[in-house]
Amino acid sequence: MKYLLLLSFCFLFLQGKAQNSGSSNEPDRIKKTVLATYYHRKFEGHRTTSGAKYRSKKLTAAHRTLPFGTMVKVTNPDNGKSVVVKVNDRGPFSKRLAIDLSERAAKQIGIYRKGIGKVELSYTVE
């Protein structure tokens, strides 16, 4: 009787564990509040770390650790405006800043004239 009870408990435990870990194929969504800045105009046309040319009119960004090609939703919590940018460069290299936005992205969310702004990042980790 003890063995039957133990076996039943183990079966139920493992079944619950399998449902929690393997049933969802959706990647984790990460959300962070960080400081952002944007590229200076002098970088227009320069090569980014990924090899692409920086274009101020595109919706791109630089991040120190996210893989190139990662799509990041950047939201300004002060006004609720959002933009989705593609990571194609490394930076910023200041410890207090987490992301460099293209000029167009910074204008769309309203941090262009401020220089630095608090933003919320949301992206998927595969």
Note whether 98 and 32 are within 8 A (CB).
yes
Helix, strand, coil percent content, the chain, rounded in steps of 5: 25, 35, 40
pLDDT at 38: 97
Eight-class DSSP state of 126: -
Read off the pTM. 0.78
Mean pLDDT of 14-19: 48
Residue 6 dihedral angles phi and psi, to the nearest 5°: -65, -45
Note whether 85 and 61 are within 8 A (CB).
yes
More confident position, 17 or 31: 31
Domains along the chain? 25-125 (2.40.40.10)
Band (pLDDT 50/70/90 cuts) for residue 1 is: low
